[in-house]
Amino acid sequence: MSIEKYGRKEVKVISNTKETTTHGFIVSAMIHSLKTFDEAIILHENGVNDVVAEYKGRRYTAIFNGFVCSYYVDDIYGQLPDQHRCPQCGDYIP
């Protein structure tokens, strides 16, 4: 995937089965299952504890840790059942 890092822009996501375009920004985030940093797309942010991130084509809940200035994506327990709704505020996420 060749995209400009860490900028708020329209992001083209290409998977094995389809190509979609979504709005968000790319960050280096801590991924729960890896226990290390990897790139994730932040799609929706309504406060530090109400964040929806996309990682490897799936959407998960995430938080922002202000002490270390990084996002934490919970890809083990935080997978969203409805991939287009924020679990906290109910906003539609395209």
pLDDT digits (tens), the chain, 94 positions: 334 445 555 555 544 444 455 678 999 999 999 999 999 999 988 888 889 999 998 999 999 999 999 999 999 999 998 888 888 788 888 8
For residue 65, count other CB atoms closer than 10 A to its CB.
12
Residue 89 lies in a domain: no
Residue 79 lies in a domain: no
> Which DSSP letter does residue 82 get?
S
Residue 59 lies in a domain: yes
Provide the number of structural domains found in the chain. 1
Residue 63 lies in a domain: yes
State the virtual CA torsion across 51, 89, 59, 14 in degrees, nearest 10. -90
Residue 86 lies in a domain: no
HEC string of 60-73 equals EEEEEECCCCEEEE
Q: How far apart are CA 23 and CA 46, in angstroms?
A: 15
Alpha carbon distance, N-terminus to C-terminus of the chain: 20
Tell me what pLDDT residue 16 has.
45
The token pair that represents 25 in the structure block: 């920004």
Tell me what pLDDT residue 15 has.
44
